[in-house]
Each structure stands twice: as structure tokens, then as C-alpha cells.
Amino acid sequence: MVVASATPKRSEKLQGIELPIIDLSGERSEISKLIVKACEDYGFFKVINHGVHQEIIARIEEESLNFFSKPVAEKQQAGPANPFGYGCKNIGFNGDIGEVEYLLLHNNPLSIAQTSKSISNDPTEFRSAVSCYIKAVRDLACEILDLMAEGLWVHDTSLFSNLIRDVDNDSLFRINHYPSPVLCKDNIRDTKIGFGEHSDPQILTLLRSNNVDGLQISLYDGVWIPVSPDPTAFCVNVGDVLQAMTNGRFVSVRHRALSNSYQSRMSMAFFGAPPLHAKIIAPPEMVTPDEPSLYKPFTWAEYKKTAFSLRLGESRLNLFRKSRNDLEDA
């Protein structure tokens, strides 16, 4: 649950942990092993030497900043996000609220073209910048998913990546802007939850931000690990679908973003998702007599409908977990 102007609980603890940074220019078999270990231990890692050209990143950042610097009345012409377009504070349809404004776009070219008309004074340039960025990060996501499959010894090493290569994939692109907080009466800045605790329902998320902190991940209840910002890297986190497809071996890490800086923060997230009709089930390599299948088969459409009918912070994947009787009968 996210509450407007909510602050982190006093009982919460911050823990300093060195999170994995993986150099994609290294030896392939070693990279795949490091990625698998990071997904098992943290559900999260950073990649450097990722191959996404700085010009592509700079171009979409400029377009995004141009939009968020507009007067509120102009930005509102691109919203409300239903589900695509401009949103402010309201996150989804179930009452979740944060200290954030955002643009949510589908990765379908026709959808991008249509939405761009209400976002930019130069829709052609905005559409081009978004499309180039999405293609670059989708290619990166596919490469990372292939490395995961190789590290897991999955026979079909394109099994995961083919789901977001499919022409009907349901991937999304969201640009978040966390405005700098307003000074409190005692001149101490308040720390507010910009985007509340949640896991991502899709397969894989690729996130990058400007050089402003705020992202935190949670490996244990009440313990948060700050993620240091690095504009040269992409943050990668496992989504619910990938946790299901790896039979729980990978962790769909819970995370949040805080508006706690003297600077505004902007982040861009690519959510790689399968086609709506795609059946989500762990491949044979992930299921053994000692590790039976943990989740019931489902389609992405079924999971998406369930996920977006619940509050942001609820544990959605547990609803698809097999019961003890199911596991005993397997």
C-alpha cells in the first residue's frame, strides 16, 4: 500500500550491502554464472558495458525533461493515464498514491505514435526517441535473458527472451519523475515514499536513473538496501513471471523509491512482458522430484488481470502458488 506523503517507518532498517555489478564485456560463461547467482541471492544486479549508446539515452532524457518541465496544465493534457499517458500521484486504479509523476507507454509502435501526440510539441521526435530507446533496452533485456537461460542450463536458451521478442509482447515503458520535496517548516526536508513497496509482475525490468539516490530493495521484511545511483549502468531486477518460470529459484525482489533528495530524480523503466496469451510455466530443467513445480500454470493475461486488481504492495504471485496437497500429488 502506498499512502500520499507516507514516510518510511521508524522500525525499518537500512543495511549496507555491496550489490552485484556485472560487466557484460567479460567472458560469456562467467557472466552467465554471475547473473544467475545475483538473481538467486538478490533478484537484482547492475550491468555496465551494456552496449546502449549514450546518444540514445541522452535523447530520451532530453525529451522526458522537456515534458516534465512543462506547466501542470499542459502536462495534464497528456493524461490521465488510462492506462497510458501522463499520471500524477495516482498509481494504478486501486487507490495507491505516491510522490511521483510519470509517463506510461506501451512498446507497440502504433500506441507510441498515438500517445506522443498529446505528450510532445514535436510528436515525431518524441516517438523516434522513445522507439530507439525501447529497441535498445529490449535487445539488452533479451541478451540478459539468454545469459540467464545459459547459466541455468535450459536447453532452449531463447525460451525467456522469445517472450519479449514476440511481436505481440506486452512490454511497457515508464518514465518516472520525483520532484524535489518541499522544505518543511523547520527547514528539514521530509522524506516521502515516491513509489511504494512492490514487486514487478513482468519478466524482467531494466531501470536507469539520473545521478540522484532514492531506489531501495528489500531482501528481508523491514530491511532496506539503498541502491547507489550510477548513470552509466542499468539496474536489472527479476519480475514475478521469471520467478515462476525458474520455479522460485530466482527472486522477484521487492523495491521502492523515496523522494528524499535536494534534487529531483528521474528514472526510466522498461518492463519486459510476454504476449497476453503466453502460458507461463517452468521448463523441465527447473523441475525435479526434489524440487517439484511450485506454481500453477497461468497465462500472462490471467496474471496481469490479477496483479492489477490488487494493491501495489500485495504479494500477487502467492495466489498462483500450489497448495501443499497439489505438491504432494505432483
In the set 265, 316, 321, 324, the catalytic residue is 265
Phi-psi map region of 2: left, alpha, beta (phi>0 left; psi -120 to 50 alpha) = beta
Query: In the annotation, is 265 catalytic?
Result: yes
Cβ 294 vs Cβ 247: under 8 Å = yes
Per-residue H/E/C for 50-69: CCCCHHHHHHHHHHHHHHHC
Cβ 260 vs Cβ 214: under 8 Å = yes
What is the rounded CA–CA span in Å between residue 31 and residue 127? 34
Q: What are 322's three cell numbers?
A: 500450489
Q: Determine the angle formed by the axes of helices 123-151 and 54-68, rounding to 10 degrees.
A: 130
What is the rounded CA–CA span in Å between residue 280 and residue 295? 9
Residue 255 one-letter amino acid: H
3-state SS class at 125? helix
In angstroms, what CA-CA distances link 78 with 75, 94, 113? 6, 21, 13
Cβ 282 vs Cβ 317: under 8 Å = no
Q: Other CB atoms closer than 10 Å to residue 157's CB: what's the count?
A: 18
Strand-strand pairing, 223-226 and 13-14: parallel
Cβ 88 vs Cβ 74: under 8 Å = no
List active site positions: 265
